[in-house]
C-alpha cells in the first residue's frame, strides 16, 4: 500500500463540498466528498455534517464561499480515516504517478496538477470517480498571470525545462526540493504560489521583500522565480512559484525539548534577524511570526526565519498588529516563551514531536 499523507482540508459552504489534499508516492491528490442528494443516509453526508453546524441540507441557502472556521478535530480525523480506508480506490500506482528524466529528477510539470478523485455512495457501495468540480481548486497550485505589480530584477526559471523536482516534502503542501538544470548538485526549495488558498498579494509581498533583501544567515534567501515562460526579469509572465534556500532541518514548532545552549542560540538568532529587518531603510517586517515559520538547521542549529507572506495567527500575532513592527515584537516575545517552555535536556540532539495534520 502506498505511503499517504493527508495534508489539509477545506469545506465549501454554499456548494456543500468537502476537499482534502493528500500526497502519496510522489503524486498529489485532491479528494472530494459532495452532499449526496440521491442517498441521504450515506457515509459522505454523515462525515460532512459536523462541518455545517447550521444544517447540511440548508447550507446552500445560508452561506457562500469557503467559510473561515475552525474545523472540528474529530470530524477531520473521521474524514482522514475514511479516505485512508478507501485509498485502494483512489491511489495511483507509483509507476504511473511520475515520469522519470535523464537528469535523475522528476520534471516539474507532472506534479503541478493533482489527481482529482471523488468518493460517492452508489447502490450501498462507496465508489470512486474523477470529480468534475469546476471552481478554483482550494489546493491545486494555480499559476498566476501578472501577480507582481512591479518589475523585479530577478531571474525567472522555466518550469518545464530548467527546474526538476528531487522529492516532495510530504509534511507541507506544494513545497518541493528541486534543482535547476545549470546546477544539478545544488538543491533549492520550490514554494508554489496559490490563487485561492493564498491570495496573490501574499506571494507578491514575500517576493518583493526577499528580492530586495541583503543576504542574512537567519533569513531565508530568494534565488529566483519559476514561470511557465522565462523571459528575463519581467513581471509579465505566468508565475508558478519561487526558488528559496533549502534549509535542511525541522520547524521550531515540532520541537518538544532542547538544550539550554540551543534555547539561547535560537532566541539570539531570531532577535538578530528581526533587528536586521527592522533596521533597514525603509524597515522590513517579517509578519505572521510563529514557531512553524522558524526552521532550525540540522547542520548548525541555526534558526532561520521563513514565510514572509505576512498576516497574523491567533495566539502569536494579534490581527490589528498584522504586518507591523509591533506585531513582529509581539511574536518575538511569544516565541521566546515557547522556546523557554521546551523541556531542557543535556543532550545536544533534541527530540521532536511527531508532525500532525
pTM, rounded to two decimals:
0.60
- What percent of the chain lies above the pLDDT cut of 70? 66
Q: Which helix (H) or strand (E) holds 268?
A: helix 260-278
Q: What is the mean pLDDT of residues 334-345?
A: 95
Q: Are the CB atoms for 317 and 327 separated by under 8 Å?
A: yes
Grid cell digits, residue 31: 479528494
**Measured between alpha carbons, how far is 133 from 19 in angstroms, rounded to an integer?**
10
Res. 214: pLDDT tops 50: yes
Tens digit of each residue's pLDDT (9 = 90 or more) over 277-334 = 999 999 999 998 999 899 999 999 999 999 998 888 888 999 899 999 999 999 999 9
- What percent of the chain lies above the pLDDT cut of 90? 32
CB-count exposure of residue 96 (10 Å: 0-12, 13-18, 19+): exposed
- Residue 34: pLDDT band with limits 50, 70, 90: confident
> For residue 104, what pLDDT is reported?
35
Q: What is the mean pLDDT of residues 133-147?
A: 52
Res. 58: pLDDT tops 60: no
| Crossing angle (nearest 10°) for helices 325-341 and 260-278 | 180
Grid cell digits, residue 239: 508565475
Using only the alpha carbons of the chain, give its radius of gyration: 22
> For residue 109, what pLDDT is reported?
36
> For residue 165, what pLDDT is reported?
78
Higher pLDDT, 266 or 206: 266
Tens digit of each residue's pLDDT (9 = 90 or more) over 59-99 = 544 444 444 445 567 887 888 889 989 988 888 765 554 43
Q: What is the DSSP string of 281-296?
A: SS-----S--GGGEEE
Delimit the domains of the chain by residue range: 4-129, 144-245, 249-344
Question: Helices in 16-85 by DSSP H: which ranges?
Answer: 43-48, 59-62, 73-85
Highest mean pLDDT among 25-34, 194-203, 208-217, 264-273: 264-273
Q: What is the CATH number that goes with domain 249-344?
A: 1.10.510.10
- Residue 30: pLDDT band with limits 50, 70, 90: confident
Q: Which of 34-48, 163-177, 256-270, 322-336 has the lowest mean pLDDT?
A: 163-177
**CATH topology identical between 144-245 and 249-344:** no
Q: Give me the chain's average pLDDT, please.
A: 77
Res. 26: pLDDT tops 70: no
Q: What is the CATH number that goes with domain 144-245?
A: 3.30.200.20
Amino acid at each position: 500500500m502506498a505511503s499517504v499523507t493527508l495534508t489539509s482540508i477545506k469545506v465549501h459552504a454554499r456548494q456543500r463540498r468537502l476537499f482534502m489534499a493528500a500526497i502519496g508516492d510522489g503524486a498529489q491528490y485532491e479528494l472530494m466528498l459532495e452532499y449526496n442528494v440521491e442517498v441521504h443516509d450515506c457515509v459522505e453526508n454523515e462525515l460532512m455534517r459536523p462541518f455545517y453546524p447550521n444544517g447540511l441540507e440548508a447550507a446552500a441557502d445560508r452561506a457562500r464561499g469557503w467559510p473561515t472556521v475552525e474545523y472540528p478535530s474529530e470530524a477531520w480525523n473521521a474524514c482522514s480515516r475514511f479516505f485512508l480506508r478507501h485509498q485502494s480506490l483512489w491511489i495511483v500506482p507509483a509507476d504511473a504517478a511520475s515520469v522519470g528524466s535523464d537528469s535523475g529528477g522528476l520534471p516539474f510539470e507532472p506534479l503541478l496538477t493533482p489527481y482529482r478523485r471523488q468518493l460517492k455512495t452508489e447502490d450501498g457501495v462507496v465508489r470512486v470517480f474523477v470529480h468534475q468540480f469546476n471552481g478554483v481548486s482550494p489546493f491545486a497550485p494555480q499559476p498566476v498571470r501578472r501577480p507582481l505589480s512591479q518589475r523585479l530584477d530577478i531571474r525567472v526559471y522555466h518550469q518545464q525545462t530548467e527546474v526538476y523536482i528531487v522529492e516532495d516534502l510530504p509534511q507541507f503542501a506544494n513545497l518541493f526540493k528541486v534543482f535547476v538544470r545549470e546546477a544539478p548538485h545544488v538543491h533549492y526549495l520550490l514554494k508554489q504560489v496559490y490563487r485561492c488558498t493564498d491570495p496573490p498579494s501574499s506571494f507578491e509581498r514575500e517576493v518583493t521583500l526577499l528580492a530586495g533583501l541583503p543576504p542574512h544567515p537567519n533569513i531565508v534567501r530568494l534565488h529566483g522565480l519559476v514561470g511557465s515562460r522565462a523571459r528575463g526579469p519581467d513581471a509579465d509572465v505566468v508565475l508558478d512559484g519561487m526558488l528559496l534556500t533549502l534549509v535542511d532541518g525541522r520547524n521550531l514548532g515540532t520541537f518538544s525539548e532542547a538544550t539550554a545552549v540551543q534555547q539561547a542560540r535560537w532566541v539570539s538568532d531570531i532577535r538578530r534577524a528581526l533587528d536586521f529587518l527592522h533596521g533597514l531603510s525603509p524597515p522590513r517586517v517579517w509578519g505572521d511570526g510563529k514557531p512553524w515559520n522558524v526552521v532550525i538547521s540540522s547542520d548548525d542549529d541555526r534558526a532561520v526565519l521563513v514565510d514572509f507572506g505576512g498576516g497574523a495567527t491567533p495566539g502569536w500575532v494579534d490581527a490589528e498588529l498584522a504586518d507591523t513592527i509591533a506585531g513582529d515584537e509581539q511574536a518575538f516575545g511569544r516565541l521566546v516563551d515557547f522556546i523557554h517552555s521546551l523541556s531542557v535536556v543535556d543532550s545536544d540532539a533534541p527530540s521532536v514531536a511527531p508532525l500532525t495534520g
